[in-house]
Structure 1
């Protein structure tokens, strides 16, 4: 047996021995993600992001945490959402938009709630409102862009929970329905075809460096979208062309067709309506380098770059458990 085959086999065996923690506890908005760390690889949120202005939210719906978001009160939009990908067992639910009461009052309900006609002033000041998107005259072709898409969530309740404006950013229509949608489908396909364990995903935005754009003079429009996943447990017979996509994978998408091409070049051969909304696939390290430059910090999205640390004893035990029987036949 080759060294490479033995390592793949041993990794698979080791992962089978790891415990599975699926339960989520209940809690409330706090200064960290301590109540919903399950949504982060190795229970470790991204590091290096300047904390000022950001509010961690453990997104709770129907008495259960569904995903996590890092929200910026002044921008009235999230910087990122982190979740565990699971193929949907049904259709996209009706778009019933919700808000987070605790952003306005720390003692208020711990669950996201449906918008109603007469919202409290504190709620309006603390987060985005439906009217910000529907009544905006400053920018055209802006849609509600999911960071955690409903199509990446298994149950109807999980999918409904993604329809909170604390998970939404102003996204250009032909980015949202074009190249970015293609990326979301691609990631889902990678999971179904090759990922044999948990896939952690973090999707976020990069704001403009200068001259911020806003809808309704309130909600910041991102210049770029970005996404990365971690899938350390994958098929040992991974095709050669798929190897660059595991155990990690990342991408940056243009949300402004007039932006420069420093991070994502424009495909001049693309169809006119999506030209300028290109998405560039890249390594996790490339994405972290870009984010570090734009967010002014040394950014790490996945603890240890999503690489398992295995002692020699565990490797040998895993090889013996899973692989040695092959020599008997």
Structure 2
């Protein structure tokens, strides 16, 4: 059975969520406010996490337990203020212990709990790996400082090459920040995820799966009616796919050869929501929908 065929069989609709049956892990019900019309993306299965920090839900993540990395994170955008907070990394206790408290916890300075290390990624996975910790829900897209701190959990990151994380993908995140801050007049919903290799690749001896691409899409149903012509196709939705491997083929994202290292080959291609869903459907082998009725406002 090919890997893509295997994806088709095993990655069912999110309605078939796998995971725990109660608590903040295993059910999106407590945090549906982070999805447009309370409707999580459909087309991939995983373990839902309502990411809680300091007793409040901050965003939502669909986690791949066997991959020890997220499939996507969903959040509500707000205009950022102040400097980026320091990254004190956290983990999800309920992935290791279903009856644990719902708040994400800081990694201990002492020896790691083996149950935590088995259930999810830990800081040591990224040490000397040649990959950075790539946020799906970026600190840059939040105003409240506590919301920004909450993004620094390893259940919200995947292995990302520095050339992508500090280069074209960071530029794309900044462009989304500027566009939504200036022209979105209502609530903006964002979902950011990863696309796996057809044959999985890993860091640290099958510890954490490496994505071949990052993807993102936003939904802003209420926006300024005096958009510049250059932004007319960026509302109510915009999507993008970014390369995480300079050696990937160029069928999805072409390479701009005029760029120089270390950013050569890490291009980001903006596209329509429909085009993104086409690529996700093709890679996962099942219909993939990011937003309810494609953010139609109905």
TM-score, length-normalised on structure 1? 0.82
Q: Which runs of 4+ in 1 moved over 3 A?
A: none
Counting only pairs closer than 5 Å after superposition, residues 194-213 of structure 1 correspond to structure 2 as 194-210=183-199, 212-213=200-201
1:119 is aligned, of 112, 118, 123, to 112
Counting only pairs closer than 5 Å after superposition, residues 28-177 of structure 1 correspond to structure 2 as 28-49=23-44, 51=45, 54-116=46-108, 117-136=110-129, 140=130, 142-177=131-166
| Structure 1 alignment gaps of length 5 or more | 1-26, 310-329
1:200–1:229 CA contact under 8 A, matched in 2: yes
1:145–1:176 CA contact under 8 A, matched in 2: yes
Larger radius of gyration: 1
Counting only pairs closer than 5 Å after superposition, residues 286-325 of structure 1 correspond to structure 2 as 286-309=275-298
1:250 is aligned, of 215, 230, 239, to 239
1:199-231 deviation line (CA, Å, top 9, x unaligned): 100000001001x22111200110000000000
* Count of residue correspondences: 275
Kindly state the Cα deviation for residue 63 of structure 1 after the two structures are TM-superposed: 0.4
2:25–2:95 CA contact under 8 A, matched in 1: no
For 1:261, the equivalent position in structure 2 comes to 250
1:248-299 deviation line (CA, Å, top 9, x unaligned): 0000000000000110001111123211000000000000000011112100
Structure 2 CA distance, aligned partners of 1:95 and 1:159? Answer: 10
TM-score, length-normalised on structure 2? 0.90
SS in 1 for 2:216: strand
Structure 1 CA distance, aligned partners of 2:184 and 2:59? Answer: 20
Counting only pairs closer than 5 Å after superposition, residues 210-249 of structure 1 correspond to structure 2 as 210=199, 212-217=200-205, 218-249=207-238
Structure 2 CA distance, aligned partners of 1:30 and 1:104? Answer: 10
Q: Which deviates more, 85-94 or 122-131?
A: 85-94
For 1:180, the equivalent position in structure 2 comes to 169
